[in-house]
């Protein structure tokens, strides 16, 4: 297998040549029902990936299929599954897919079967949640737990929070909501203070999540929480569990009811399928719901093995994104779920994508000369229509779009107004936007003229269920992975967060050694309290 820079491939040159001669895709004439019906790839849990409104023709598809072969994308994915050191910067395996199923060879290290270890830890999580739900475990005053509060930041916050919100209404409607969940992430003390003032402390269980056990924000918030519990006369060790690595200071610590383990092969932004997401979600909704989520993700991981890009939605989504980023030169992409339940899913994808592929060196640490990951942003529709869609329709730049939609609502609670229910209005808007962006509309008044040519994809399905959430989660993880393979970057480290941490420590120690940093610190009151 060869790891080579994207711009050294034949496919890169061919795509660049094709783009140079490219006149654009003529949506006005070519986006018709036949194309819409045909340009779809199946995803896990019954979802479909529709790419009819992407600016790709047969020639582009053929070259992207060639690129997938030349960059050996499926072989690299298989190597990852089999436990190769894909995270070259930190010299680590990358095993988050193993959390949801065995798609490759068993990964054995020093005689330890890592898949079994992961499954064992999840099993312990499920049993723990069961004890909470059966009231075998209660708070220190004997009252049952009604609330779970996750303490974590970055991947220990954004993914789990997005998944919780994605399923909260579904669980309520299905009678599966067991505990309310809240999240404390920011080191801003107002975050922890407000949440601690709003939850019933006696009936709250806290899930402390830090793989290293040294995350500054999370440790500060842990002490913030413990202080409140102690002041309320509660025994914090009966109200707190840890999710961490076996080598962290949080492991096997009597300060916690229990600790659940992950290892260095689960990156923070890829950790939602581990105990990092599994603990809070199993407590909130029950282990069965989380298992369904994992099953949806596992099915997606399996589909991602197909070398035919027209049958592999994650691979196709990735390659179209590369076409847009490197050859159509679009520096951003917007994620637009037409589902209020996915309100924070764009924030999770923003981390997943930008932290994974926001890189300027290749996997061997050499600087590269082509663009990598785009800026990702988004808000749910129809809200976005009344906000930033103006720029998307009529701005001077083109932003590729990724829509997500579902036939059915989660709560089965709707009202009919003017002959249609709200869910129908929601989806009529979604369909209308796809076509409005693609085809535009000519008007003799340029202010009312829509140029069109704004490409979008659509992921759609019947209903946002746990399996569907798992399918979405894994789809985007695998998409980002494939793009990283194309760009020949390491999508699994994050050296870009280190410098800020180092400078922060220097500031707090009072020896920044930089006069500008001292001046900024003084302006912000650092050192005065």
Write down the least CB distance from residue 291 to a copy of itself, Å.
24
Nearest to 233 by CA among 141, 144, 143: 141
The tokens describing 405, both together, are: 């939609």
Q: Quote the strand ranges of 218-296, DSSP E.
A: 240-245, 259-262
Write down the least CB distance from residue 134 to a copy of itself, Å.
26
Name residues contacting a copy of itself, limited to 232-261 (CB under 8 A).
none
Q: How many residues bind a copy of itself (CB under 8 A)?
A: 159
Q: Taking a C-beta distance cutoff of 8 angstroms, is the pair 152, 217 a contact?
A: no
Q: Spell out, one character per residue from 308 to 347, where the chain touches a copy of itself: x when CB under 8 A holds, - when not.
A: -----------------------xx-----xxxx-----x
Q: Taking a C-beta distance cutoff of 8 angstroms, is the pair 315, 237 a contact?
A: no
Name the one range near a copy of itself by CB under 8 A: 3-11, 93-101, 298-306, 519-527: 519-527
Neighbours of 227 (CB within 10 A): 13
Give dist(CA 378, CA 483) in Å, integer: 20
Of 204 and 423, the one with the shorter C-beta distance to a copy of itself is 423
Write down the least CB distance from residue 98 to a copy of itself, Å.
24
The tokens describing 506, both together, are: 């220097």
Write down the least CB distance from residue 104 to a copy of itself, Å.
27
Number of alpha carbons in the 13 Å side-chain half-sphere of residue 499: 1
Among positions 193, 214, 247, 511, the unique one binding a copy of itself when judged by CB under 8 A: 193
304 binds a copy of itself (CB under 8 A): no
Of 303 and 404, the one with the shorter C-beta distance to a copy of itself is 404
Of 51 and 126, the one with the shorter C-beta distance to a copy of itself is 51
Write down the least CB distance from residue 508 to a copy of itself, Å.
5
Write down the least CB distance from residue 27 to a copy of itself, Å.
8
Among positions 75, 251, 310, 435, the unique one binding a copy of itself when judged by CB under 8 A: 435
Name residues contacting a copy of itself, limited to 141-160 (CB under 8 A).
153-155, 157-158
Contact residues for 433 (Cβ-Cβ < 8 A; gap 6+): 381, 385, 389, 403, 456
Name residues contacting a copy of itself, limited to 28-57 (CB under 8 A).
31-37, 48, 50, 52-53
Type and span of the H or E element at 173: helix 158-174
The tokens describing 440, both together, are: 């535009």
Name residues contacting a copy of itself, limited to 94-123 (CB under 8 A).
none
134 binds a copy of itself (CB under 8 A): no
The tokens describing 518, both together, are: 């001292």
383 binds a copy of itself (CB under 8 A): yes
Neighbours of 130 (CB within 10 A): 15
Name the one range near a copy of itself by CB under 8 A: 75-83, 94-102, 274-282, 414-422: 414-422
Among positions 16, 85, 108, 194, the unique one binding a copy of itself when judged by CB under 8 A: 194
Write down the least CB distance from residue 386 to a copy of itself, Å.
3
Catalytically annotated residue among 23, 91, 231, 386:
386
Of 120 and 395, the one with the shorter C-beta distance to a copy of itself is 395
The tokens describing 45, both together, are: 């849990």
Does the annotation count 355 as an active-site position? yes
Write down the least CB distance from residue 484 to a copy of itself, Å.
13
Does the annotation count 475 as an active-site position? no
Residue 418 region by backbone torsions, left for phi larger than 0, else alpha for psi between -120 and 50, else beta: left
Q: In what order do the strands lie in the sheet with 147-151?
A: 180-184, 147-151, 204-209, 240-245, 259-262
Q: What is the DSSP string of 56-82?
A: --HHHHHHHHHHHHHTTHHHHHHHHHT
Among positions 19, 75, 79, 219, the unique one binding a copy of itself when judged by CB under 8 A: 219
Q: Spell out, one character per residue from 394 to 413, where the chain touches a copy of itself: x when CB under 8 A holds, - when not.
A: xxxx-x-----x-xxxxx-x
Place of tokens 């072969």: 69
Catalytically annotated residue among 311, 501, 505, 522:
501
Nearest to 177 by CA among 185, 168, 186: 168
Catalytically annotated residue among 202, 292, 324, 355:
355
Nearest to 66 by CA among 257, 395, 319, 363: 319
Peptide bond into 382 cis (omega under 30): yes
Write down the least CB distance from residue 195 to a copy of itself, Å.
10
Name residues contacting a copy of itself, limited to 163-182 (CB under 8 A).
168-169, 172
**Integer CA distances (angstroms), 283 to 25, 159, 207, 414, in order:** 49, 16, 10, 29
Residue 379 region by backbone torsions, left for phi larger than 0, else alpha for psi between -120 and 50, else beta: beta
The tokens describing 74, both together, are: 């499926």
Does the annotation count 386 as an active-site position? yes
The tokens describing 486, both together, are: 């194309």
Of 248 and 410, the one with the shorter C-beta distance to a copy of itself is 410
Name the one range near a copy of itself by CB under 8 A: 100-108, 217-225, 253-261, 465-473: 217-225
Name the one range near a copy of itself by CB under 8 A: 18-26, 65-73, 185-193, 475-483: 185-193
Q: Spell out, one character per residue from 475 to 514, where the chain touches a copy of itself: x when CB under 8 A holds, - when not.
A: ---------------x--xxxxxxxxx-xx-xxx-----x
Place of tokens 């006696």: 202
Nearest to 466 by CA among 336, 302, 281: 281
Q: Taking a C-beta distance cutoff of 8 angstroms, is the pair 20, 72 a contact?
A: no
Of 58 and 190, the one with the shorter C-beta distance to a copy of itself is 190
Of 21 and 523, the one with the shorter C-beta distance to a copy of itself is 523
- 3-class SS at 332? strand
Show which residues are catalytic: 355, 386, 501
């Amino acid at each position: 297998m060869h790891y080579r820079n994207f711009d050294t491939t034949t496919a890169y040159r061919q795509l660049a040549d094709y783009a140079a001669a490219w006149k654009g895709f003529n949506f006005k004439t070519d986006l018709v029902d036949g194309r819409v019906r045909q340009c779809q790839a199946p995803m896990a849990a019954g979802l479909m990936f529709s790419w009819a409104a992407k600016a790709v023709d047969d020639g582009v598809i053929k070259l992207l299929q060639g690129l997938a072969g030349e960059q050996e994308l499926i072989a690299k994915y298989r190597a990852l599954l089999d436990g190769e050191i894909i995270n070259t910067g930190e010299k680590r395996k990358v095993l988050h897919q193993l959390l949801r199923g065995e798609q490759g060879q068993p990964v054995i290290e020093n005689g330890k079967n890592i898949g079994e270890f992961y499954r064992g830890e999840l099993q312990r999580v499920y049993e723990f949640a069961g004890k909470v739900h059966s009231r075998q475990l209660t708070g220190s005053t004997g009252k049952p737990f009604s609330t779970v509060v996750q303490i974590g930041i970055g991947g220990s916050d954004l993914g789990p929070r997005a998944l919780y919100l994605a399923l909260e209404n579904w669980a309520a409607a299905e009678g599966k909501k067991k505990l309310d969940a809240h999240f404390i992430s920011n080191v801003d003390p107002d975050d922890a203070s407000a949440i601690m003032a709003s939850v019933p402390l006696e009936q709250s269980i806290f899930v402390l999540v830090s793989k290293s056990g040294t995350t500054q924000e999370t440790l500060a918030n842990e002490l913030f929480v413990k202080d409140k519990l102690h002041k309320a006369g509660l025994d914090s060790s009966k109200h707190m569990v840890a999710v961490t690595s076996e080598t962290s200071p949080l492991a096997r610590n009597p300060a916690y009811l229990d600790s659940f383990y992950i290892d260095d092969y689960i990156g923070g932004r890829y950790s939602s399928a581990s105990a990092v997401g599994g603990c809070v979600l199993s407590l909130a909704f029950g282990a069965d719901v989380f298992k369904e989520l994992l099953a949806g993700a596992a099915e997606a991981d399996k589909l991602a093995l197909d070398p035919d890009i027209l049958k592999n939605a994650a691979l196709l989504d990735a390659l179209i994104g590369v076409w847009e980023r490197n050859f159509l030169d679009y520096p951003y992409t917007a994620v637009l779920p037409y589902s209020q339940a996915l309100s924070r899913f764009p924030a999770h994808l923003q981390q997943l994508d930008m932290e994974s592929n926001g890189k300027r060196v290749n996997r061997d640490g050499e600087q590269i000369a082509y663009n990598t990951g785009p800026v990702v942003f988004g808000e749910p529709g129809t809200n976005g229509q009344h906000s930033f869609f103006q720029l998307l329709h009529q701005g001077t730049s083109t932003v590729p779009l990724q829509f997500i939609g579902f036939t059915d609502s989660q709560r089965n609670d709707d009202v009919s107004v003017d002959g249609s229910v709200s869910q129908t209005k929601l989806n009529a808007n979604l369909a209308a936007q796809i076509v409005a962006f693609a085809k535009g509309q000519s008007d003799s008044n340029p202010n009312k003229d829509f140029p069109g040519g704004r490409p979008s994809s659509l992921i759609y399905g019947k209903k946002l269920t746990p399996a569907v959430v798992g399918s979405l989660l894994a789809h985007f993880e695998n998409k980002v992975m494939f793009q990283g393979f194309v760009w020949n970057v390491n999508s699994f480290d994050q050296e870009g967060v280190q410098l800020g941490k180092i400078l922060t420590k220097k500031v707090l120690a009072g020896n920044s050694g930089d006069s500008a940093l001292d001046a900024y610190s003084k302006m912000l009151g650092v050192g005065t309290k």
